[in-house]
Amino acid sequence: MKFTKSNGLHGEVTIPGDKSISHRSVMFGSIAKGDTEITNFLQGADCLSTISCFRAMGIEIENDGNRVLVHGKGLHGLSKPENVLDCGNSGTTTRLISGILSAQNFDVTLTGDASIQKRPMKRIMDPLSLMGADIRSIHGNGCAPLAISGRPLHGIHYQSPVASAQVKSAILLAGLYADGETRVTEPYVSRNHSELMLSHFGADVHTEDTTAVIRPVKELYGQKIEVPGDISSAAFFLSAGLLIPNSEILIKNVGTNPTRDGILRVCKEMGADITLLNEKTSGEPTADLLVRSSNLHGTVIGGAVIPTLIDELPMIAGMACFAEGETIIKDASELKVKESNRIAVMVENLSAMGADVEETEDGMIIRGGKPLHGAVIDSHLDHRIAMTFAILGCMAEGETEILGAECVNISYPGFYDDLKRLSK
């Protein structure tokens, strides 16, 4: 895909459903009793991998393109798959499903694509093993493929070294099947979609400061889930509206969960003109975001805000190139173990466009104000990288070409169409 400088973006855009919530709605619906109806489900490759895995374990799932109907069979209703479960490119699928599979009465092997087979799984293998799970890395390198033999589990109190919703959720899902209470304490609170949704399905789950607590229950029950728009996908149009002169965009029905809204807080700190309209607060909070072109200034991003915007940091780094002064991103070493090493990839590609950017051990330093020019960008097949540089290509002089641009289908299949439509 090739991009050139834009004269302004105008109009409305409705963001696809939240990826994290779409994954969880299928997983929890599959192990609940009765039907779960999901609307605004994200039809991205990652979430379709989750559907495929549960279908392989005997769950009937109807998917007509926007509405998904999961015919759940209860906590103990899954059956042994005939083949290896393929999680595709989805770390969420791989890690969360491991918590569920650890307690089943069958053996299973989990794998994924080349990227998944390099991503760290010891972070879930260690706590699940402490619960009594039999889970091992087949190649002995702490990565997928994983061999899991279902076992009776017991509750633990796990002190997680990282604030990771995937780690926390894997442990909580195993905790549904444990013989007692399970606690997960994080250094900072990570996104809490699992806790909110599990409670909705009838789980005994609550939060104490940075600790999530779950107790086993006899059954979960099917629910109706309306998936809000994904703030991680909204981030790209949010940034485009702020950066591209003469722009005004209304981004509809975006999830504004306080464990996910760090980008809104950082943008406000940088001087952004963003207005929240039509706010709703029941269940997962949502709002429409009215975004206008703004003059931004640098800031320091670190500490407790990092887990609330971890997936948005590539786009925030891109924004910082156009902000006045210096922006420091720190405490973000999690970026190294995403679909790509996002710190190294951002520094490499921003430098190719002429940005003044410096890699640090746990983030980067960006000195804004240097004009960017077009370049050939290697997305490393990372959807967040591809979308970030599509937006930056609309700001840069000359032409920007993105290699592997089709990887946006993982989370936002209609992204390029929406960008083109707003550019008219």
Joined tokens for residue 101: 């599979």
The number of C-alpha atoms within 13 Å of 47 and in the hemisphere containing its C-beta is 28
- C-alpha 168/C-alpha 255 separation (Å) is 20
- C-alpha 365/C-alpha 299 separation (Å) is 10
Active-site residue, 311 included: yes
> Which amino acid makes up residue 309?
L
CB 253 within 8 Å of CB 283:
no
Total residue length of the chain: 424
Joined tokens for residue 410: 């993982």
Query: Dihedral of CA 41/337/316/240: which sign?
Result: negative
CB 150 within 8 Å of CB 163:
no
Distances in whole angstroms, Cα of residue 400 to Cα of each of 261, 351, 372: 29, 13, 10
The number of C-alpha atoms within 13 Å of 245 and in the hemisphere containing its C-beta is 4
Place of tokens 């017991």: 154
- List of residues 6+ apart from 31 with CB closer than 8 A: 72, 73, 74, 75, 77, 78, 100, 176, 220
Order the strands of the 33-39 sheet from edge to edge. 60-63, 68-73, 33-39, 224-226
Q: Tell the burial category of 282 from Cβ atoms under 10 Å away from its Cβ (0-12, 13-18, 19+).
A: exposed
- Annotated catalytic residue: which of 288, 311, 378, 418? 311
Joined tokens for residue 106: 């069958």
- C-alpha 416/C-alpha 403 separation (Å) is 14
| Helix, strand, coil fractions of the chain, as percent rounded to 5 | 35, 25, 40
Query: Dihedral of CA 20/127/330/188: which sign?
Result: positive
Q: Which residues are catalytic?
A: 311
